[in-house]
Structures are given as structure tokens and as C-alpha cells.
Structure 1
Amino acid sequence: MSARGPAAGRLLAPAGLESLAVPAAELARARDLAVRHGMRREREIDLGDPVITRVERFAAERDRPAVAGAGRALSYAELAAEARRLATLLDGAGVRPGEVVGVGGGRCAAVIAAFLAIELVGALYVPADETWPATRVRDVLDQAGASVLLTVDDGEPAPALLEGAAAAGARTVRAGAARDLAPWPGGPRLESLDRPRYVLFTSGSTGRPKGAVVEHQGMLNHLWAKIIDLGMTDADAVAFTAPLGFDISIWQMLCPLLLGGRVEIVDDGVAHDAPAFARLVDERAVTVVELVPTMVRHLLDDLPERADGPPFPGLRWMIATGEELPAELSRRWLAAVPHARLLNAYGPTECSDDVTHHTVTAGDLELLRLPIGTPIVNARLYVLRSLDDGTWAACDVGETGELFVGGVVVGRGYLGDPDRTREAFYRDPFGESPTGRLYRTGDAVRLLPAGAGGEDRPTLQYLGRVDRQVKISGVRMELGEIEAVLQRHPSVGAAAVVVHEYPAR
């Protein structure tokens, strides 16, 4: 089993990473290209306040609805009070700053309160979804070194959560046990901005999940980036649709709380039922929705008819993420719901979620593949190609390379896994990075020139994983591009292209 105790002691410092091999001349060129093409977007953001501090401020100024849905509603004052009672529960269970707390269950108001409670006691949040098998729960809690699993469901926890926690040696504590406890009296235990804040486990090529660690500064920067790019205010209501193990769940449940807005929790029965979800968006006045493109397609297939205009009159943004957004699907959305802008979002869990945003326009629809956009605030993006001598060179407009991410968004690596951390994280050779780290995404991208798709500046286009680039008779080919062409045919719903090698005759 993994060692218990503060997670920071099981993370590599930047000095323990290798520096990416970029010759001095290419370093200067890469910096120049990133600045010239808008791949470094700097903005001063105050990242000092934890989310719980903002919640308590709104509760004191003028209380208002904070969380609603799934059979329960909490005002800001009620949410803050529940978070402090849960903090008392965790403190009594022996949770100390820097330790990892598992949170088990489904989307509900209590999971948001639990995240805020973990902020208060200075621990790290790691979710264990109620739908996971016991072996997955065990692997996640064991690798994270979680000593406690806090279950948040009103009824009996899923048996797999209890079984997995027991197998991992984690004590199970129920959120309901905090109901009669006194509120925790202390302030948030935030020692520094680079303090780890949460761990999310992604699939590993070896079959063993990898625990990506995100810092407080990276998380808050992403939350404010969403607020800035979406123009969010306290009038917004964000649909909380993501399973707890997905990185987008973090911003969906926290972002509105920085503004005094509302989190609208969507239970699984509604989230997976397009007509029911459409009714919820209308009836609950939801203004921001994020879905995978597959679900956007289902939603368009079952759009409610309205005699007084287009559907979803209160919706401001539809965000597509998690899968490649097809141009054909975008065309349907822009035609059917013209008032709700469509955002194509891209980003790895290891970099605090999304690192690029792109608002889709009619001009994009002429491209074989939609742009993924330009960097969010304080993300630094570099497109590099590998040379035969093992070093890296910068790519200019029109050239294909691999995307590397720097800046405050880059996480700490994989918890307790230095070998896999070194495979994807490097010391940032470009300098001046708040984290000192550079993340290798493994994604192939192309920098499109200004004017492509109607953009007034260069923008990135995603081309697939780097290991999907093949050579046929010496010619480099991107399988994803062939798939994109096939999917433009009206009779093709989805396509997958593979290379089959026939033996020589």
C-alpha cells in the first residue's frame, strides 16, 4: 500500500525533473513565436482567497441560493455552515494539512460542502465516484494514500465504496455524522499558493491509474479563466453534470461560488436523458452548460419545440469538451440555438483542466477540424517538433508539432509515481514559470494563421495523439484528418481509421 501522510512529501520538486532538451537558439525562437502568435496570455489575478473564503463573504453580504438540484438546495450561509461542520468531522478523524481525503458518492450539495471543508483543514480532495467498482476505489485511495473516505450520500453508501476503502486501509466517515457538530472555528489552512489542492486519477497505459496533482494556484487560475472568457456574473447558473472523477467537475461545482452565482446539480437520470435535461435547462434558468459532443448531438436530436422562438432562451454558453467537436455538429448548434455561443475547450487534467478556449463561428465550419483556440489566461503554450538528435525545435505557423504547456496551470505530477511523472513533466527551460514545470501533452497540433476560421490571430488546431501519425511510402499522414473527411459525409456518423500492414509478397 502507499505511504500515508502529507502528499507534498511524495511529489517531485521541479529540481528533480529533467530539463527539456531545447538548444539555446530554439529557446529564444520558441519564446518569440509564443509571444508573437499569442500563445502566452498573461494577466494579473488575485489567487489568494480559497473558495470557502468567497462563499463566506457572500453569505455575510447578502445571502442567496448557492446550490440547488438533486432534491436539495443550500444558500451561501447554509453551504458555509455545512462545510465548517464537515471540517470539524475531518479534524476529529485525524485529518491534518497536506493529507489526502477521499470523497465518495455522487453529485450532490454535500460533495461541494466536502470540498470546501477539505480546503478549511488544508487537505487534498480526491473523489471516488459511486459508480466505480471496488477495485478502482481501492486503487485510487491506496495510491493517493488517503486515510479517510468521506461518504456524502444521504442513504447507505455504495457497497463498492465501503469495500474499496476497507481494502485500501482507509477509514470510512459519513457526512451525516457532522449534522450535530459545532462549526470548525479556524481559518483556511492555506500556507502557499503552490500547495496541492486536489488529485484526480486518469487512466494509465499500464492499466494502473495515475493521480494528477493540481495546485491551489492552478485550480483558481482556471476558475477565473472561465469567468473571464465566459463573461460570468452572479446572475449565472452552471449545470453540474460531470461525474466526480472528471476534471470538469471541479470548475462546474466551484466557479459560480466565486461570484455569488448558482450551481445547478443535475442527477444522472436527467443528465443522460436529453429531453429531461432540456426541460431542466429551461425550467431552472441554467445559463452555462458543458457536455461532451456526443451528448450535444443527443440534445440537438431531441430539441424541444417552442412557439416563441429558439430553444433554451436563457442559455448563454454551450461548452463542448472531452471529445473532438465535429464541424457538422457545430453547424447544427449554430443554426438551432444561435443566441447561445458554442465554446470548444481543450485541456489535460494534469494542467488544471482546460488550457485553451475557442468560440466557434461560422467561419470555422469550412475547416476540416475546428480550432481548439488560444490559451486561457496565464497558460503558456509551445508547439515543438522532435529532432533526430533528441532535441526539440519550435514550430511556426502551418507546421505540425507536439503541444507543451507551461505557466501557473501546470500541476505537480503524479502522486507517489516519480517514474511516470518524469515521462510527462520537465523542468521548464523557457524560464519565468511560476511552477518551474513544463507538461508534455502527447497531442499533435498545428498553429493556424490569423484569418483561418475567422480568427484575427493565430489559433491552434488539434490533430490527434502524436502516436497516431503514420508514414505510408514515406509520406506523413494524420489518421485523424482522414477521419474528419469521412465524417463530413452525411451518411457517416462516426469513423475510425487504422493502418493495416500487409506482408510483402
Structure 2
Amino acid sequence: MNARGPVGERLLTRDGLPVLPVPAAEVGRARELAARHGMSSAREVDLADPVITRVERFAAERDRPAVTDATRSLTYGELAAEARRVAALLEREGVAPGTVVGVGGARRAAVVAAFLAIELVGAVYVPADETWPAGRVRDVLAQAGATLLLAVDEGEPAPALLEGAAAARVRVVPVREADALDPWPGDPRLDSLDQPRYVLFTSGSTGRPKGAVVEHQGMVNHLHAKIVDLGLTGADAVAQTAPLGFDISVWQMLCPLLVGGRVDVVGDEVAHDPVAFARAVDERGTTVVELVPTMVRHLLDDLPHAPEGSLSCLRWMIATGEELPTELSRRWLAAMPHARLLNAYGPTECSDDVTHHTVTAGDLELLRLPIGVPVVNTRLYVLREEDDGTWAACDIDETGELFVGGVCVGRGYLGDHERTRDAFFQDPFGATPTGRLYRTGDAVRLLPPGAGGDPRPTLQYLGRVDRQVKISGVRMELGEIEAVLQRHPAVGAAAVVVHDYPA
């Protein structure tokens, strides 16, 4: 098969996925439990509206700042015009709907324009971070079947990007060449809601990265989930802090544009310096920040060195990517009572986050924080594998593995049918827009109403399923032991492993 053909040619159809072995009685029970415990979320969302359409609407209604970086600020009108010039560049280079376009370089406003341009012409976005070694760049571009790499940096691209692109036989086109072109005049090419929108590569246990394909409908649904749960408006400014290769970078650079807000692109030199980052948040009036818990800890540690009143404009701190420790949450709530703390969980394969939980003082009594309830149009099932290989539904306080269904579930791994079949299944629990069910590999427990003060049942993350061990016949979750250790004020982080010793 031609590796550089349209993405759809290298993906399994739903009918090509395996059927998860769930007995009929358990199918009905799983549906009933998901409905009873609030693990099935439905909401009417307009998934057919491309992001560029909303950008141009705001530009026409009342122009306002759309995206800023360290060197420039673009209004909605300027962003739309730049996106259309880049779209003209893509068409000049022969980019067709369904083909993959790499975007390489540092975080900057030009990346946002490039994504919108790729959306305009119906192509598929795959990022290549400037910090990656050449081998990683080569593997990602080659596996994705990219036709070209848009270099967004103002000067020469990083040597590793050039070397990796050359090894993958992908031509490099500086995005600045679009400056001399007339804007592309066409309408956004959106043939169907399940059209692939981007590919992000996650680490594979074999050492070979896996390209998770996310559809237009899944991406837009996740953007609306953030708008709904964070209450985002045109007054908000979201910090884009994530490297381009991480899924959260997508919502950070697109979500504010759906409500008329602003994207604040923060470079690594500032994002990795807690005091400089706090200063940037204050100077720009940033209202929403998302960081991994490790960086939240560094931020709190260094706040005493920042000016008094730092981060006073912040409305939300979102923690993701790692388990959020209870003690770190306690510190945040004490230091930043004006900024709510959101615990977010989700796999790249399911369009980013699938659960949200706003942390409260009541949660601090728990050893491990809840990860919450499903975001809009997402169905969650907690299942356990029986001795005969079939799956059964888990009820309150029972530990099982988390499966995800709904509009958020992606298309699988690009060009990798074997690993797709290991994680993606035909959804046996009911009709959904994708018809797919994703196996996360994460162990969870459904907490009863009232746990942590939440009146609803909520999910609690317990670690990877392969981290459950038996010692002297007793089942133990290594993550539970880590959580207890991390409650001690002298312990910053903990990792527990099991060693077998000869008798």
C-alpha cells in the first residue's frame, strides 16, 4: 500500500475491528450501570462547524486579538488572512484532501495559522517538535506518510528537523513563503464528520511510535467539552504551553478561538521557568493554564520568589498527563483559592480528555483524587475480564479496566492494523457516531456518591492494569502504596516496584 496515500486508505474500517466478548446479559447490565451512575454523557453540539469558520465569523463581527506569542500579536482578521495564505501555499505544493502535512518548529502563532490552513484544504495535521532528535522526526513523518513539512520558524529550521525530513524523503517548505501569495478563496473542505483531522504519535512498548488518528468530530467535541466545563468566554485567554507533539497542544491553540478568546503562546524558555511563567501570566492576563502536576509543584515552590499577588488573574489551573497527588492539590487550594483546580484524564486515542473533575476540599480526605465524570458525548464503562476471557460490568467500589465509547473515540493507529486491533473494538453497548470502543489499559474504580463530597459517582484512577500485583495471595495496587507515601510532607514523588527474590 502506498504510504503516502490519503490517511483513510491506511485505516481499518469499523467492520475490521474485533468484537469485545461481552455476554448479552452483561451488555445490558453495563448500559444500565453507565446510565444510572452518570457515566454516559450526551449533549447537542454542532460538530460540523470548522474552527476556521468561527475565526472568520469573529473577524467579520468585531475584530479582536486572537493569538499572541513572544514576537507578535494577531487579530482574528489577521489570523484568518494568514491561514488562507498558508492554504494557498499548500495548494501550490500539491496538497490534496486527506493527505498528511507535517508542521515543524517551535510553538508560535504561525503554528495556529498552519493548523487552520490544513483544516481549510481538508488535509491532516501532524506535528514535529523542534526538540525531537532527527530519528524521531524521520519516524513520525515516514509513518504518517507526510507529503511535506511546513517549517514555522522565522529563521532556519532546527538541524534535526531538516535531517529527519531528509531521511523520510519529505520536502521542507518554509511557511514564510506564504507571505507573497494571495489568500486561498475556497470554502473549508469538510466532507464528513469522521474525516481525519490530525495524527499524534504516542510512545509504543516496542519502541516504535504509534500514530493515533483523531477525527474532526472528536476534536470539535473535545473543544466544546472544555468550553462547557470551564465556562470559557471571549474574556478568557488560554496559555499554550504544551509541546506540539502532545495532544493538549491542540485544544490549547484552538479552543479559545471558538468563543472569541485569546491564545497566549508561551515558549519553552518561559514555560520552564516558574517565576518567568508567573510573570508572563500576569502581564498577559492569562486566565486558563494547563500543566503536568510536576510543573504545578515547581510553580508553587517558586511562587514565594514571584511578586506578591502573582497569578491573581488565573481562573483555572488544569492538571493532566500525570496523576495529581492529593497533597499537591491541598497546597494549590490553600495558595490559590481564587483559581479552581481541574483534574483531567484522557488518552490521545480518544481526542484528549474524556473526564474532568473539579477538585474540592472534600477530595483531600481521599488517598487518590477522582478523575471525575465523562465529558460531553462520551460513554465510559468499567469492565473486568473473567477467567473465560469474557468481560463483565463493574458496579460501585469494584475495580476494573476503563473502556471509552462515544464521538471522542479515534480511528486507530495509522497504518498499524495489528496494534489497532489490540486496543480498538466494535462497540457492543449501543450505536455511537464512531461505533468504536477503546480499551485504555487503565485500572479505575467507581466511587460512590458522596466520596470526596461529590454528590455524583465519580471515577478514581488506580494506575495501569499491569501494576496490580499479588503478594502472599493478596491483591495490591502499587499506585495505592505510592499515594500513601506521597501524603508524607517529606516525600515529593514516589515509585513502587516489586522484586522477586529466591527463597
Same fold (TM over 0.5): yes
CA distance in 1, matches of 2:170, 2:430: 40
Shift of 1:168: 0.7
CA distance in 2, matches of 1:449, 1:46: 33
Who is 1:236 aligned against? 236
Superposed, 1:87-486 pairs within 5 Å as 87-304=87-304, 310-486=309-485
CA distance in 1, matches of 2:312, 2:478: 39
Most deviating of 70-79 and 216-225: 70-79
Shift of 1:20: 0.5
Shift of 1:305: 7.0
Unpaired runs of 5+ residues, structure 1, are none
Shift of 1:5: 1.4
CA distance in 2, matches of 1:118, 1:493: 42
CA distance in 1, matches of 2:481, 2:403: 25
CA distance in 1, matches of 2:75, 2:172: 28
Q: What count of residue pairs does the alignment treat as equivalent? A: 503
CA distance in 2, matches of 1:166, 1:92: 21
CA 135–2 in structure 1, closer or farther in 2 if over 3 Å, else same = farther
CA distance in 1, matches of 2:387, 2:344: 33
CA distance in 1, matches of 2:454, 2:288: 23
State the percentage of identical aligned residues: 80
Q: Deviations over 1:67-97 (max 9, x none)?
A: 0122111000100011000001011111100
Most deviating of 495-504 and 296-305: 296-305
CA distance in 1, matches of 2:303, 2:158: 34
CA distance in 2, matches of 1:290, 1:45: 24
Contact 2:275–2:305, Cα closer than 8 Å, also in 1: no
Contact 1:278–1:304, Cα closer than 8 Å, also in 2: no
Unpaired runs of 5+ residues, structure 2, are none
Q: Per the alignment, in what secondary structure is the counterpart of residue 270 of structure 2?
A: helix
CA distance in 1, matches of 2:273, 2:361: 29
Superposed, 1:19-34 pairs within 5 Å as 19-34=19-34
Shift of 1:311: 3.5
Who is 1:76 aligned against? 76
Contact 1:445–1:460, Cα closer than 8 Å, also in 2: yes
Contact 2:239–2:288, Cα closer than 8 Å, also in 1: yes
Q: Deviations over 1:355-374 (max 9, x none)?
A: 00000000000100000000
CA distance in 1, matches of 2:491, 2:82: 50
Letter of the 1:188 partner, please give it.
P
Contact 1:366–1:453, Cα closer than 8 Å, also in 2: yes
Q: Per the alignment, in what secondary structure is the counterpart of residue 285 of structure 2?
A: coil
Q: Deviations over 1:262-307 (max 9, x none)?
A: 0001011100000000011111100000000011011111115789
Q: Which runs of 4+ in 1 moved over 6 A?
A: 305-308
CA distance in 2, matches of 1:398, 1:5: 47
Who is 1:36 aligned against? 36
Q: Per the alignment, in what secondary structure is the counterpart of residue 278 of structure 2?
A: helix
CA distance in 1, matches of 2:277, 2:336: 15
Q: Deviations over 1:397-425 (max 9, x none)?
A: 00000000000000000000000000000
Letter of the 1:244 partner, please give it.
L
Q: How does the TM-score come out when normalised to structure 2?
A: 0.99
Q: Deviations over 1:410-460 (max 9, x none)?
A: 000000000000000000001211101000000000000000001011000
Contact 2:279–2:310, Cα closer than 8 Å, also in 1: no
Q: Per the alignment, in what secondary structure is the counterpart of residue 418 of structure 2?
A: helix
Who is 2:16 aligned against? 16
Most deviating of 70-79 and 227-236: 70-79
Letter of the 2:466 partner, please give it.
D
Contact 1:311–1:337, Cα closer than 8 Å, also in 2: no
CA distance in 2, matches of 1:100, 1:280: 34
RMSD over aligned CA atoms reads 1.1
